[in-house]
DNA sequence: GAGTGGTCTAGACCACTGT
DNA sequence: CAGTGGTCTAGACCACTCC
């Protein structure tokens, strides 16, 4: 796998060489790499080529770089496992529970898979005209007023951002309950599904669309990742019992510390129900 | 969003500028970009900086580069939508259908969401000793012999690779039916779930773990994407009715043309069943 | 102030594409 | 053949961190 590829570019070979050193422990976790200048001298390459190698290593998640300090072997990131399937079902069940109970098992914590109280939350509300891509999903006219809620969530223990994104609701639909337009009411005990229940909406199913891409510069900054790392994009579409799309969330998560988990139960062959 | 960020680096500004030109149609789909030399002259930047900008644009999926020809505005890729939830349920139901029917609705086609007959398939079999990460998932001793099946799938219409990856089965378990060790029997009508049914295994549920990262060089080559594009990684774990893990698939898909779709049905509040 | 990585420059050679 | 992007070099200045 990491053989002697004679016909490779120098920077790719250097990256592979360093990756091997890291994987077999010759460069242990947390230890500093030689500086770019040193590597250049050691391997007889210009700094530009060394930097190309470093770009690969950072993308692979093997190396972290602190500006002004140096490059370090990254300890494998603890991934936040987001058990989407179970989490959605729990959130719906929770809607029917009393408020003190909803308060205890915050929807946000379920969402991220982190222990209770471990998630720091930030929300901003505003209103936007539905762009075509959203109007199409909601089945409404482009330009219809939407309530847009921007979320930032981060892990309290290390301050690392976990996800950021937008949740969209049709403004005039949720305006029936003015509390839903009030950012001061967030985080709402029981989450969005409970919010929707206050205006008589029961969510019937949730469709998650998952894609991946490199981060836009702004996302890289907000999520605290660098250019070379991927992001997981989740578009979560909630559909009510009438088949109407009631919420669309567009969520961006750092690819190097996120894992989305979906469970599909399969009907038994011998089951009669 | 694409405002005048005065304090940005030159290559980032150039990338943003070109991205704007593309998004508002001044650089239409399929049209060639100015060459790196021309851009450098036009904006008074060195070629290195222009290349940094191009690297961003390629990562964002806005620009495709043909070596020796030039850079072109990429038409948005038609994404292959993989309806995982429905696909798994269909595959299980299909197991109970007669062979001619299984043959018609090939599991592979369901898997990719492409029309029937649109998927080109390649498979290689071999045997490996279970590495710790797989032994742990299977609940077996590290070193236990596994049957490893490597898949390559591509779209017949344009030849683009769709996914590649490995499927692992415990060798001694599937060896009960020698046909399952025979690569010549692939593609198997009805897919892996039917294969497992021939040795008395009923799959009860499937757990999908989804992550994202930049491609390894070998994956970039196999999938026909370049360094800057992300890959979606899917680890699919099949669990039988006894709770035993029976198959682990590790699949890599090009992030710029793949979309994973999961549907979560939520029990009705007023339902009695 | 010395060392680090991030950016930028101005050259060079190469493999590949079109003609 | 000329033109393209991919690689590589040898310099430079900057902002930042650590001492």
- Counting one residue from A and one from B, how many pairs have CB atoms under 8 Å apart? 163
Which of A126, A113, A222 has the alpha carbon at shortest distance from A167? A126
Phi and psi (nearest 5°) for B215?
-75, 145
- Band of pLDDT at residue B195, cut at 50, 70 and 90: very high
Q: Which residue's alpha carbon is at the shortest distance from the C1' of D2?
A: B68
Instruction: Determine contact: A92 vs chain B, CB below 8 A.
Output: yes
How many Cα neighbours within 13 Å face the side chain of B21? 18
pLDDT at residue A4 greater than cutoff 50: no
Within 8 A of B229 by CB-CB distance, chain A residues are 213-214
The beta-carbon neighbor of A266 closest among B56, B204, B230 is B204
Instruction: Determine contact: A90 vs chain B, CB below 8 A.
Output: no
Q: E strands within chain B?
A: 63-66, 70-73, 80-83, 119-129, 145-155, 161-170, 203-213, 231-240, 245-254, 258-265
Rounded distance between C-alpha atoms, residue B94 and residue B193, angstroms = 9
Separation between the CA of A98 and the C1’ of D15 (whole angstroms): 54
Give SS3 for A121.
strand
CA angle A235, A236, A240 (to 5 degrees): 145
Radius of gyration (C-alpha) of chain A in whole angstroms: 23
Separation between the CA of A69 and the C1’ of D19 (whole angstroms): 13
**What is the structure's pLDDT at A115?**
55
Closest residue of chain A to B216, computed from CA coordinates: A60
According to DSSP, the β-strands at A161-170 and A63-66 are unpaired
Rounded distance between C-alpha atoms, residue A243 and residue A219, angstroms = 33
- Band of pLDDT at residue A22, cut at 50, 70 and 90: very high
- Band of pLDDT at residue B262, cut at 50, 70 and 90: very high
- B20-29: per-residue pLDDT in tens? 999 999 999 9
Backbone region of residue B192 per phi and psi (left: phi > 0; alpha: psi in -120 to 50; beta: other values): alpha
**What is the structure's pLDDT at B257?**
85
User: Per-residue pLDDT averaged across A139-151, rounded?
Assistant: 95
Instruction: Determine contact: A216 vs chain B, CB below 8 A.
Output: yes
The beta-carbon neighbor of B205 closest among A229, A230, A265 is A265
Consecutive H or E run containing B40: helix B36-43
Question: Higher-confidence residue: A1 or B88?
Answer: B88
Closest residue of chain A to B84, computed from CA coordinates: A264
Rounded to a whole number of angstroms, the distance from the CA of A84 to the nearest CA of chain B is 8
**What is the structure's pLDDT at B116?**
56
Instruction: Determine contact: A219 vs chain B, CB below 8 A.
Output: no
Which of A241, A239, A240, A221 has the alpha carbon at shortest distance from A231? A221
Rounded distance between C-alpha atoms, residue A36 and residue B250, angstroms = 35
Q: Which residue's alpha carbon is at the shortest distance from the C1' of C10?
A: B46
Consecutive H or E run containing B230: none
**What is the structure's pLDDT at A2?**
37
Burial of A182 (C-beta count, 10 Å sphere; 0-12/13-18/19+): exposed
- A165-224: per-residue pLDDT in tens? 999 999 999 999 999 998 888 778 888 999 999 999 999 999 999 999 888 877 887 888
Rounded distance between C-alpha atoms, residue B35 and residue B13, angstroms = 17
**What is the structure's pLDDT at A112?**
53
- A65-86: per-residue pLDDT in tens? 988 999 999 887 778 888 999 9
Long-range Cβ pairs for the range B66-71 (8 Å, 24+) = B70/B32, B70/B33, B70/B35, B71/B32, B71/B33, B71/B35, B71/B36
User: Per-residue pLDDT averaged across A245-273, rounded?
Assistant: 88
Q: What is the pTM of this model?
A: 0.87
Is residue A65's beta carbon less than 7 angstroms from any atom in nucleic acid strand C?
yes
Is residue B11's beta carbon less than 7 angstroms from any atom in nucleic acid strand C?
yes
Instruction: Determine contact: A203 vs chain B, CB below 8 A.
Output: yes
Rounded distance between C-alpha atoms, residue A25 and residue B79, angstroms = 40
Consecutive H or E run containing A129: strand A119-129
Of the listed ranges A43-47, B8-12, B115-119, B217-221, the one predicted with least confidence: B115-119
Please indicate whether, in this complex, the C-beta atoms of B96 and A269 are within 8 angstroms of each other: yes
Instruction: Determine contact: B2 vs chain A, CB below 8 A.
Output: no
Rounded to a whole number of angstroms, the distance from the CA of B241 to the nearest CA of chain A is 9
Give whole-number Cα distances, B117 to B78, B112, B200, in Å.
18, 11, 29
Phi and psi (nearest 5°) for B178?
-60, -25
Give whole-number Cα distances, B215 to A214, B154, B225, in Å.
11, 17, 8
**What is the structure's pLDDT at A30?**
92
Please indicate whether, in this complex, the C-beta atoms of A89 and B213 are within 8 angstroms of each other: no
Separation between the CA of B24 and the C1’ of C6 (whole angstroms): 31
Taking 3-state DSSP, the helix, strand and coil percentages for chain A, each rounded to the nearest 5, stand at 35, 30, 35
Name the nt closest to B13 by C-alpha to C1'.
Answer: C7
User: Per-residue pLDDT averaged across B148-162, rounded?
Assistant: 82
Rounded distance between C-alpha atoms, residue A207 and residue A227, angstroms = 29
Burial of A196 (C-beta count, 10 Å sphere; 0-12/13-18/19+): buried
User: Per-residue pLDDT averaged across B228-257, rounded?
Assistant: 93
Give the number of other Cβ atoms within 10 Å of residue B264's Cβ: 22
Separation between the CA of A72 and the C1’ of D11 (whole angstroms): 27
Is residue A10's beta carbon less than 7 angstroms from any atom in nucleic acid strand C?
no
Please indicate whether, in this complex, the C-beta atoms of B260 and A213 are within 8 angstroms of each other: no
Instruction: Determine contact: B107 vs chain A, CB below 8 A.
Output: no
Q: What is the DSSP letter of A8?
A: S
User: Per-residue pLDDT averaged across B32-48, rounded?
Assistant: 95
Which range of A98-107, B33-42, B153-162, B210-219 scores highest in mean pLDDT? It is B33-42
**What is the structure's pLDDT at A202?**
96
**What is the structure's pLDDT at A265?**
95
Query: What is chain B's mean pLDDT, rounded?
Result: 87
What distance, in Å, lies between the first and last C-alpha atoms of chain B? Answer: 49
- Band of pLDDT at residue B203, cut at 50, 70 and 90: very high
**What is the structure's pLDDT at A273?**
43
């Amino acid at each position: 796998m990491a053989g002697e590829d004679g016909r490779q570019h120098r920077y790719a070979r250097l990256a592979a060489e360093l990756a091997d050193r890291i994987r077999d422990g010759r460069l242990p976790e947390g230890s500093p790499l030689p500086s770019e200048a040193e590597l250049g001298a050691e391997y007889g390459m210009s700094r530009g080529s060394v930097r190309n190698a470093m770009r690969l290593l950072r993308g692979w998640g093997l190396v972290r770089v602190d500006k002004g300090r140096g490059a370090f072997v990254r300890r494998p990131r603890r991934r936040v496992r987001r058990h989407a399937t179970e989490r959605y079902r729990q959130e719906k069940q929770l809607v029917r529970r009393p408020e003190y109970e909803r308060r205890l098992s915050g929807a946000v914590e379920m969402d991220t898979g982190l222990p209770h109280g471990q998630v720091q939350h930030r929300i901003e509300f505003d209103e936007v005209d539905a762009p075509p891509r959203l109007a199409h999903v909601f089945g409404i006219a482009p330009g219809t007023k939407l309530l847009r809620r921007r979320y930032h969530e981060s892990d309290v223990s290390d301050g690392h951002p976990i996800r950021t994104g937008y949740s969209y609701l049709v403004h005039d639909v949720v305006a029936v309950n003015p509390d839903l337009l009030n950012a001061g009411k967030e985080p709402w005990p029981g989450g969005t599904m409970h919010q929707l229940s206050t205006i008589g909406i029961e969510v019937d199913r949730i469709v998650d669309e998952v894609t991946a891409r490199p981060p836009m510069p702004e996302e890289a900054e907000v999520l605290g990742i660098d250019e070379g790392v991927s992001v997981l994009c989740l578009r979560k579409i909630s559909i009510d019992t009438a088949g109407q799309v009631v919420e669309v969330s567009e969520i961006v998560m750092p690819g190097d510390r996120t894992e989305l988990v979906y469970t599909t139960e399969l009907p038994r062959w011998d089951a009669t129900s």
